[in-house]
Amino acid sequence: MARIGFVGLGNMGGPMARNLVKAGHTVIGFDIVPDALARAVAGGVTAAGSAAEAARGGADFVITMLPAGEHVRDAWLGSGGMAAASDPGAVLVDCSTIDVATAREVAAAVGRPMLDAPVSGGVMGAEAATLTFMVGGPAEAFARAEPILQAMGRNVLHCGEAGAGQAAKTCNNMVLAATMIVTCEAFTLAEKLGLSHQALFDVMSKSSGQSWSLTTYCPVPGPVPASPANRDYKPGFAAALMAKDLGLSQEAAQSVGIETPLGAHAHALYRRFLEQGGGEADFSGIIRMLRGGG
């Protein structure tokens, strides 16, 4: 069993760290928010006094699950001091969703094997240990980290060198946003045309309009009982996080000099939803804004 340092014990990191404990690993955790740390400790995580202390205590693997690129850079290379504190033989893993450029910059600067391993599956996936990990970085470090990631997820995919995990995540979420929006538009149009939600669901789920946004995460109540639409769009995956991810995909597109017009429009629609107070709602809640004409 491994010793694992885990920094960032929020909505995702908290349950992920607890799943590592359940799998029999020793987890030394830290979060700047005392409540988050206390919840993790209740789940069997050993509290560290700082990010560096967690990194030092996790001799085999050190994992971060932080909000954004600036937090990741600061934790590993800046005031967090994690890279310097960690054991030279440790595999370093960042599971946060951040921009490709920062992932590559941090991996190059830490000067030892580091993986970018963002996830999809949301808080439900983190709790149930059914996340999908998209991993970039050296093959040897991936091979060592794979069993650890499997204790927190169902699919662990090596996508290429440093930054490839973030690249895969940003492409996937751009598709997710666009399919969610157009699925919401289809239900809104069906409502106006007098077609029931269930009838549209039954047809589309067996036709070429089928997608994850429809069959797993249906944006209207009824057809998929577990979807956030059935609990007043309580997340799930908050619209604010989707807007953040779409910003990352637009940054990535700009950095390589291409346009992604549907991705850009999805970003604009989610930003408008946030301006209208939708940020805390699940991202499928954008159907409310679309019903109102956007």
Closest CB to ligand NAD belongs to which residue?
A: 10
* 12 lies in the binding site for ligand NAD (CB under 6 A): yes
237 binds ligand NAD (CB under 6 A): yes
CA-wise closest residue to 249 among 97, 104, 66: 97
CB of 183 vs ligand NAD, minimal distance in Å? 19
Residue selected from 19, 26, 86, 97 as contacting ligand NAD according to rule CB under 6 A: 97
234 assigned to active site: no
Site string for ligand NAD, 137-176 (x = CB under 6 A): ----------------------------------------
CA distances from 85 to 57, 95, 110, 178, 283 (A): 9, 19, 11, 42, 38
Do the Cβ atoms of 137 and 114 come closer than 8 Å? Answer: yes
The SS3 assignment for 279 reads coil
Distances (CA, A) of 258 to 26, 74, 178, 237, 253: 45, 30, 18, 27, 5
Entry field: residues in the chain: 294
Which of 218, 120, 235 lies closest to 174 in space, CA to CA?
120
CA 231, 232, 234 angle in degrees (round to 5)?
75
Is residue 285 a contact residue for ligand NAD (CB under 6 A)? no
Residue of 32, 47, 171, 240 that binds ligand NAD (CB under 6 A): 32
Nearest CB to ligand NAD, comparing residues 68 and 268: 68
**123 counts as binding ligand NAD under rule CB under 6 A:** yes
Which residues are identified as catalytic? 169
Note the residues at the interface with ligand NAD (CB under 6 A). 7-13, 30-33, 36, 51, 65-67, 71, 75, 80, 96-97, 119-120, 122-123, 237, 241
